[in-house]
Amino acid sequence: MSTPTLLVLDAEPLPRLGRLTGRARIEHTDASSLAERLPHADVLLVWDFTSHAVREAWPGGGPRPRWVHTASAGVDHLMCPELADSETVVTNARGVFDQPIAEYVAALVLAMAKDLPTTLRLQGERTWRHRESTRVAGTRACVVGSGPIGRAIARTLKALGITTALVGRTARTGVHGPDELDRLLARADWVVAAAPLTDDTRGMFDARRFGVMQPSARFVNVGRGQLVVEDDLAEALHRRWIAGAALDVLSREPLAPESPLWRVPDLIISPHMSGDTVGWRDELGAQFVELFESWAAGRPLANVVDKKRGYVPGH
């Protein structure tokens, strides 16, 4: 086999690919030149996983890479019908973000239960105001999304003494099916969205679903922004249908300064950072190098995405 060409859709800082020196012809591109360079690549590394450039460039003419890897858990930013219908293998960064996101969700749950946002605000105002907080042990959580991230969230919440139900695409041992979701939402103190974005999950958290939840419930989204109808969430919080929410992912990122979401009461907004711990980029780079070594040796690839479903099956 001749030396394969690895094309990297760049984002700063660049991935560390030194282990592939002499084993791959590494070329770099940005969105503006991706379309013209795709036909000459054997492998595409989507390092800029916030870009929609692949989805826009892929339908053009000429050969296409045999393998595409995205340095993210979600693949909706790159999938298009032409890629889904092709023979190109798509892999993702499954496994890198599971525990960091689970820890972040636990932090949000504790922050809302203990009313830390108010504590910090009052401290800034030099105001001493005693309050009571909520005990999380003994409460109930519903985690929507039964992949590795959802399972890590469930394990971490259970360690806090929270009774946790996991909801997936299909019912199986330890996982509830979608037909049970409304029943579980009606009983949950904490609802966590960690599902992939598919035709079935887009907009699944809307006015009806927020209406099903308890007035004391709190909602957290660490999945994809488009899982939530954000106007409906804002109305639910304004009307006190639910007690609070936290969004780490938004339908449009970055969230514009003029967005009314910034002013919604009892809403915590963070800039898509739940999985980004110190050293996470190095982990992503090392994961890709290991996958590349398997691919070059003709071994089966891990983390292969079902392009029709939009996620790695088998969990």
Per-residue pLDDT at 59 exceeds 70: yes
Residue 1's pLDDT band (cuts 50, 70, 90): low
- Note the pLDDT tens digit of each residue in 164-186: 999 999 999 999 999 999 999 99
Per-residue pLDDT at 5 exceeds 70: yes
- Note the pLDDT tens digit of each residue in 226-252: 999 999 999 999 999 999 999 999 999
Q: Cβ(137)–Cβ(160) under 8 Å?
A: yes
pLDDT > 70 fraction of the chain, expressed in percent and rounded: 99
Enter the tokens of residue 301: 């690839």
Q: How many CA atoms lie within 13 A of 119 on its CB side?
A: 11
Q: Residue 11 and residue 57: Cα distance in Å, rounded? A: 17
Residue 314's pLDDT band (cuts 50, 70, 90): confident
Q: Residue 218 and residue 116: Cα distance in Å, rounded? A: 14
Residue 57's pLDDT band (cuts 50, 70, 90): very high
Average pLDDT over residues 111-115: 98
Q: Residue 164 and residue 190: Cα distance in Å, rounded? A: 9
CB burial of residue 46 (10 Å; 0-12, 13-18, 19+): buried
Per-residue pLDDT at 315 exceeds 60: no
Enter the tokens of residue 298: 């003709």
C-alpha distances in angstroms, 166 versus 74, 128, 151, 190?
19, 40, 8, 12
Rounded mean pLDDT of the chain? 97
Please list the active-site residues: 224, 253, 272
Q: Residue 162 and residue 35: Cα distance in Å, rounded? A: 49
Max distance between CA atoms of the chain, in angstroms, equals 71
Average pLDDT over residues 189-218: 97
Average pLDDT over residues 125-146: 98
pLDDT > 90 fraction of the chain, expressed in percent and rounded: 98
Per-residue pLDDT at 304 exceeds 70: yes
Enter the tokens of residue 267: 């809403």
Average pLDDT over residues 307-312: 94
Average pLDDT over residues 278-292: 98
